[in-house]
Amino acid sequence: MKTSARIAAGLLLALLLAVACDSRTTHSPGTTPSAGQIDRARLLAANSEPQSWLTAGRDFGKSHYSPLTQINKDNVRSVGFAWEYQTHTNRGLQATPIVVDGVMYTSGVAGRVYALDAATGKELWSFDPQVDGQVSRKACCDIVNRGVAVWRGKVYVAALDGRLFALDAGSGAILWQTDTVIDHARGYTSTGAPEIAGSNIVIGNAGGEYDARGYISAYNLDDGSLSWRFFTVPGDPRKPFEHPELELAARTWDPASRWELGLGAPVWDGMVYDPALDLLYIATGNALPWSQGKRSPAGGDNLFACSVLAINATTGRMAWYYQEVPADQWDYDSNAPMILADLTIGGQKRAVLMHAPKNGFFYVFDRKTGEVISAKNFVPVNWTKGLDPKTFKPIIDREAVDYAGTPKAVYPWGGGAHGWAPMAYSTQTGLVYLPVTEGANILFDATDRIERRPALTNSVTSSIALGAFRSMPPANLPARIKTALAAPDLTRNVPHKGLRSYLDAWDPVRQQRVWRVEMANLFDRGGVLAVGSGLVAQGNMAGLLNFHDATNGALLHSIDTGSSIVAAPMTYSIGTEQYLAVMASVGGGPLSFNPPPDSAAFKRGNLGRVLVFKLGGGETPKPALLPPVAPTPQPPPLSASADEIARGASLFAQNCSRCHANVSTRGSTPDLRRMSAATHAAFEQIVLKGALRPRGMPQWDDVLSESDTQAIHAHLISLGWEAFRQESEQRSGTSPAR
């Protein structure tokens, strides 16, 4: 061991920017026996208590619409700060809080739970599931959590590691807990809000880029015993099918499919339950690996990936399904949140399910039968030539978007036309308000390697957002890929060459856009709230909470919060006062690791906050501006060969780049071009021995050898020198020797 490597990990903690994971534990100052008393009758009558917000989307249909009217178009300019609660974390917050009987329940990083006095923000109790930092290795898109469920005195939450907890709503004490992960040797995490369905609480998981086989589990609400489990893709065909639906699904897979990879289709978000029909609606993610030739070589639709399914909540049997993307190869997860509503279509009142997933189509289903009433693309698409007019089955344009053999430009991009961020349906205007992104991905397979990497990413396919690719050509690609990427006709079938985001108002009956507001930042695609007084609220990366006129999109008011926002706002009232709340801090995908320079997260950090506003409120306190970015420190001498550096770059891309993109100088994980001398000295200790595991940096000795780690280190030193030289040149026009 190098002498310098013996530097104590404790010193390093102070030297490094690191993942914040506060060490506070559960505490229960007192119990409120009547807390959290939501039940079926109360939920069905949600409109009779507009002061409450009873599910992640307020009502059982998850409309994200509130009938409250005190804050309206005329007085919205006077809406200001009421109170805040700080979570002492710096990773993404995506949950929509629940408010019932004066108490706010919400979730944070890795499944922490907070119970707050909804009038003052005073903490009543908090809960930390104490997730091992090693689990973050299995999280594709930050260690987020999208909410709790509250039911008959219990608060349910799924921790990142897949443990499902039932907490006492009055005290936060654990009433029961169960491990929902069937195989910890695979890349399973839970990030979605659990859903109350009949007498069960249901949770799925994430892992569609890892080696997960998707499923949901239903547990008895009272004691946590397993009621049933539903898999979304078939398992190893040498074993019996776990339930009959898998026999149907298996016919759409090559018998020689890569079963050992799990095949994906996880249910990581987007569940909603209709009590009248006793049907739970789930939506599934992409199949794995992305490239169908590597997954199910003979083709097939690959059910039930990228589908909406209706499951009987009592029996666990499927009532209907519709596959939104047959034979997906483009990361078109269908997990976007769904909304149940009653729409008048052709003079008839229809009980519908509305869905606007990544694939760019807005669907209206009859939620009893699964009939597609209508479907229309809300952004340009090039993956399909259109939908069959009778069956609504997409006609895949394979020539345009099948990237087997050569890169293809695919539209929408893999981030999706619309992802996890909640849309809102206003019964007042009859419109759906949704965050939309338009853009293309270049997809290609740079390698044919498909040996399973247990509990690690197995998606194999490379994807590059079109705008980013043109300015930053990737290194270390095979010559045939480089040539294909340089071909001028690669993007000929792409409607727009850049990425752009919008807030859209969509008429779900006429299937047409009513208005659109372009966002300042590509990543302004946060969740949406619609309010009965004709307002639509949405936060953004710059830290503004914006209020739009629901009828025409006009911006009526903007509150500068000093914190980047991706979560959906919600509203409630206590006594005579209407409040509006939102969780602030960015995360999801690479966002919290690389906040854009014009974002509040870049300027002021990514401190987690619950922010609450009211009429006549004051100016919102902002986190202090961060000091200017210090110059890149001079890296140690680079002695490795070019081949070794290239090997390190490839290992880094495979294992490290999800959390360390090294393109922003600020984020919730360190920019490794800017490592200090002490960090360089302790590099192997950190990567292989877990020196920073308590702070959320996983240990890698089960994946990487000492020589792998040295190659990665060489790659980072090389990147560091590049940044250091560039800065030096900018300062003086001279280049220091390396």
What separation in angstroms does the CA of 579 have from each of 29, 53, 71, 93, 612? 26, 11, 9, 19, 7
Q: What residue type is assigned to position 170 of the chain? A: G
> Omega before 422 cis (within 30°)?
no
Query: Given 331, 333, 402, 524, which residue is catalytic?
Result: 331
Query: With respect to Ca ion, which residue has the nearer C-beta, 331 or 445?
Result: 331
Strands 215-220 and 226-231: antiparallel
Question: Among residues 61 and 266, whose Cβ is nearest to Ca ion?
Answer: 266
Which CB sits closer to Ca ion, 301 or 333? 333
Hey, which residues between 634 and 653 contact Ca ion (CB under 5 A)? none
Which pair of structure tokens corresponds to residue 450? 């498909």
- Of 136 and 286, which has the nearer Cβ to Ca ion? 286
User: Tokens 């299995």 label which residue?
Assistant: 138
The whole-angstrom separation of Cα 736 and Cα 738 is 6
Smaller CB separation from Ca ion, 265 or 611: 265
Tell the smallest beta-carbon distance from residue 46 to Ca ion (Å): 32
Q: Binding segment for Ca ion among 208-216, 307-315, 419-427, 471-479 (CB under 5 A)?
A: 208-216
- Using the contact rule CB under 5 A, the part of the chain among 76-84, 328-336, 550-558, 587-595 near Ca ion is 328-336
The neighbour count for residue 707, using CB atoms within 10 Å, is 11
Q: Minimum CB separation from Ca ion for residue 484, in Å?
A: 24
Amino acid identity, position 231: F
375, 364 in Cβ contact below 8 A?
yes
Write down the least CB distance from residue 396 to Ca ion, Å: 18
Residue 68: partners with Cβ closer than 8 Å, 6 or more residues away: 50, 51, 531, 532, 533, 571, 572, 573, 578
Closer CB to Ca ion, 168 or 331, in the complex: 331
Burial of 591 (C-beta count, 10 Å sphere; 0-12/13-18/19+): buried
- In degrees and rounded to multiples of 5, residue 175 shows phi and psi of -90, -40
**208 or 670: whose CB is closer to Ca ion?**
208
Taking the complex as a whole, the smallest distance from the CB of residue 95 to Ca ion amounts, in Å, to: 20
Q: Which of residues 8-67 bind Ca ion (CB under 5 A)?
A: none
3-state secondary structure of 549: strand
| Cβ contact 539:585 at 8 Å | no
Q: Which residues contact 548 (CB under 8 A, 6 or more apart)?
A: 503, 517, 535, 536, 537, 538, 554, 555, 556
CB of 516 to Ca ion, least distance (A): 26
Query: What three-state secondary structure class fits 14?
Result: helix
Pick the closer one to Ca ion by CB: 329 or 563: 329
Q: How far is the CB of 631 from Ca ion (least distance, A)?
A: 38
Selected from 133, 187, 208, 415, the binder of Ca ion by CB under 5 A is 208
Binding-site string for Ca ion from residue 237 to residue 276, where x marks contact by CB under 5 A and - marks none: ----------------------------------------
- Adjacent-strand bridge partners of 390: none
Closer of 147 and 208 to Ca ion (Cβ): 208
C-alpha of 276 from chain center = 30
Least distance from Ca ion to the Cβ atom of residue 179, Å: 24
Distances (CA, A) of 36 to 25, 123, 164: 21, 15, 18
| Residue 331 falls in the annotated catalytic set | yes
Query: CB-based contacts of 57: which residues, under 8 Å, 6+ apart?
Result: 63, 64, 96, 272, 337, 339, 422
CB of 260 to Ca ion, least distance (A): 19
One residue of 286, 359, 578, 594 binding Ca ion per CB under 5 A: 286
Q: Which is nearer to Ca ion, 268 or 593 (CB)?
A: 268
Of 171-179, 330-338, 520-528, 700-708, the segment contacting Ca ion by CB under 5 A is 330-338
Q: Tell me how far CA of residue 249 lies from CA of 242, 256, 285, 505, in angstroms.
A: 12, 14, 15, 36
Decide the pairing of beta strands 65-66 and 528-531.
parallel
Furthest-apart CA atoms within the chain: distance in Å: 80
Shortest Å distance, C-beta 280 to Ca ion: 22
Two structure tokens written together for 387 = 């939908």
Question: Three-state SS for 219?
Answer: strand
State the minimum distance, in angstroms, from the CB of residue 107 to Ca ion: 21
| Nearer CB in complex with Ca ion: 208/587 | 208
Does 136 participate in binding Ca ion (rule CB under 5 A)?
no
DSSP conformational letter for 253: S
Q: Which stretch binds Ca ion (CB under 5 A): 226-234, 324-332, 428-436, 684-692?
A: 324-332
**Residue 92, token pair as written in the block:** 């993404």
Q: Determine the Cα–Cα distance for residues 400 and 158; give it in Å rounded to an integer.
A: 40
Structure tokens at 164: 């499902």
Query: Which residues in 76-105 contact Ca ion (CB under 5 A)?
Result: none
List b or e across 201-218, with b for residues whose CB sees 16 or more CB atoms inside 10 angstroms.
bbbbbbbbbbbbbbbbbb
Q: Give the interface size with Ca ion as a residue count (CB under 5 A).
A: 4
Stretch that binds Ca ion, among 84-92, 323-331, 465-473, 698-706 (CB under 5 A): 323-331
Q: Between β-strands 154-158 and 339-345, what pairing exists: parallel, antiparallel or unpaired?
A: unpaired
Site for Ca ion in 686-725 (CB under 5 A): none
Near Ca ion in 331-360, by CB under 5 A = 331, 333
Stretch of 281-289, 466-474, 538-546, 686-694 contacting Ca ion, by CB under 5 A: 281-289
The distance of closest approach from Cβ of residue 221 to Ca ion in the complex, given in angstroms and rounded to an integer, is 30
Contact set with Ca ion (CB under 5 A): 208, 286, 331, 333
Active site residues: 331
